A and B are shown apart, each in its own frame.
Chain A
Amino acid sequence: MLNYDLVVVGGGPAGMAAALKAKENGVDSIIVLERAETLGGILEQCIHTGFGLHYFGEELSGPEYAGRFMKLLEDTDIVVKTDTMVLDVADGNVVTAVNKKDGLLKIQAKAVVLAMGCRERPRGALSIAGSRCSGIMTAGTAQKYVNIDGYMPGHEVVILGSGDIGLIMARRMTLEGAKVKMVCELMPYSGGLTRNIVQCLDDFGIPLKLSCTVVATHGKDRLEGVTIAKVDDKLQPIPGTEEYVPCDTLMLSVGLIPENELSKNSGLELDRITNGPKVDEYRETEHAGVFACGNVLQVHDLVDYVTEESQIAGLGAAKYIKGEKVTGECVYTQGINGVRYIVPQRINRETDADVKLYFRVGAVYNNAKIIVECDGKEILSKKKKKLCPGEMEYVTLKQSVIAELPAEAVINVRVEA
């Protein structure tokens, strides 16, 4: 049995930031366990720029952003094990992992940070009828083939889902000589950042078809085409609107799901909206000493916020290990009337700093107000020119305000259109 103060599961931007922050705050022995052959997580294949605008004030590519943290890690005594898969986080914070070199590793940790990121929603979960030929893949899988392996996954592409990954791949495939015929989006609005609509679709004349979905795939061995159709306000295909689109590749960008197998198996209950664990203001889950941050906690759109959140978790883990973390009575948060969820789900009344509440709205709002209230009383409000589901927002609660709330109080956050 190995012993470490802190075990970090996942060496992507979340894990790296949490580990570094914990080290900065006096945690002695830290080990980062990463399943890929390098650190960096999904950033390694995100070769486009747009990362670090907030955090570094620079526009970096994914690998460059990750590279900054990798360099910082190298200057510490934080132990990193790559090509290592964590199999279990058990009661009492015992972490089991495997790799080729060490075989089976059992580590007793004082605290654990879960930073496993997220995975893509697959075709099977969508009930798209038709052929199960080759040529149907998630956008992230295609991204890996192109950017890491250096292979073209297809030549004539239809993309389902206007989330950022789909938009980025529309541009990437076009640059490498493929014909991207269209991006179909089920909702009446796009799920991705506006900059990506402009720079990935408009720039290349790739049409974005809203309220449109793929209803069937065709092809014996390899995909030969798809049938698309318009959908109604209940998101159901409208009979008679079907259109056949010849293509050899269907890329799916239809949602990210936090990778919580380990969390679930360890007994943690997941928030039904975020699909991540429920946490307090320092990102501690309902299991003592187990923290969660990054995409495993809630799917982010900006890695800068992942870093920020993971630093909170790293700081929280450090406080916990040193016996300095505030515990006791809590207040709870709730998103209502247009606000889909709040992270953190609970806040210690006697917390030692201001707390940022992160959330997403469920629809597009223009010139709206975010209202934070408790027991009918308004705590704060924030005017927003534009709110949309594709962009995470936050409001800041002052420490003094939190301290004055009664125990078990529920803080509601809502949109006023």
Chain B
Amino acid sequence: MEKRELVCVACPLGCPITVTFDADGNVDTVTGNTCKRGDAYARTEVTNPTRMLTTTVKVVGGSAYVVPVKSANPIPKGMMMECMKVINEASIKAPVNIGDVVIENILGTGVDTVATNYAE
């Protein structure tokens, strides 16, 4: 039985969670969490960790040089730096509104990159 210990970051409590795996690498038990979100976080974190990606993208034709963006949903943790490369090549035309899609389905993740602020 394999075991992994991690700290849940779903909320500020930071419960210490222990996840056990069976021989095939499937999650067997999750203990230490104090809510459902912790359970869900632990399962994802040990099998397919994901992260929200937040950065900026270049604005064309506006007064601001960049506008902040985020991945609309978490993306695979291992793809963060690759996505950064794609975002740094992209740009968006001013004016920009919160929620405007800057890059659709980034690197086939099914996740859009959206603007998180206004840019004139």
Does any Cβ of B come within 8 Å of A397's Cβ? no
Residues of B within 8 A of A193 (CB): 12, 14
**A56-93 at interface with B (beta carbon < 8 Å):** 59-61, 63-64, 67
A147's contact among B53, B66, B70, B118, by CB below 8 Å, is which? B66
**B80-109 at interface with A (beta carbon < 8 Å):** 80-81, 84, 98
Residues of B within 8 A of A259 (CB): none
A67–B52 alpha-carbon span in the complex (Å): 19
A198–B10 alpha-carbon span in the complex (Å): 11
Residues of B within 8 A of A146 (CB): 56
Does any Cβ of B come within 8 Å of A266's Cβ? no
Size category of the A interface is 20 to 34
Does any Cβ of B come within 8 Å of A391's Cβ? yes
Residues of B within 8 A of A44 (CB): 117
B14's contact among A60, A203, A386, by CB below 8 Å, is which? A386
A194 touches B12 (CB 8 A): yes
Does any Cβ of B come within 8 Å of A126's Cβ? no
A148–B65 alpha-carbon span in the complex (Å): 8
B98's contact among A49, A63, A199, by CB below 8 Å, is which? A63
Once A150-B56, A175-B81, A176-B84 are accepted as A-B contacts, the answer to whether A47 and B11 lie under 8 Å apart by CB is no
B65 touches A149 (CB 8 A): yes
A175 touches B55 (CB 8 A): yes
Does any Cβ of B come within 8 Å of A339's Cβ? no
A343–B117 alpha-carbon span in the complex (Å): 33
Does any Cβ of A come within 8 Å of B54's Cβ? yes
A61 touches B70 (CB 8 A): yes
A148–B66 alpha-carbon span in the complex (Å): 7
A61–B98 alpha-carbon span in the complex (Å): 11
B80's contact among A150, A175, A194, A302, by CB below 8 Å, is which? A175
A405–B110 alpha-carbon span in the complex (Å): 59
B77 touches A385 (CB 8 A): no
Q: How far is the CB of B81 from chain A (nearest CB, A)?
A: 7
B51 touches A64 (CB 8 A): no
Does any Cβ of B come within 8 Å of A195's Cβ? yes
A194 touches B98 (CB 8 A): no
Residues of B within 8 A of A369 (CB): none
A61's contact among B12, B116, B118, by CB below 8 Å, is which? B116
B84 touches A63 (CB 8 A): no
A27–B56 alpha-carbon span in the complex (Å): 39
List 18 A-B residue pairs with CB atoms under 8 Å apart, sorted by A's residue number: A47-B56, A48-B54, A49-B54, A59-B52, A61-B70, A61-B116, A63-B116, A64-B98, A67-B118, A147-B68, A175-B80, A193-B12, A194-B7, A194-B12, A195-B9, A198-B6, A203-B77, A386-B13
- Supply 7 further A-B pairs (C-beta < 8 A) apart from A63-B116, A172-B55, A194-B14: A48-B52, A61-B68, A67-B117, A148-B64, A175-B80, A198-B7, A302-B12
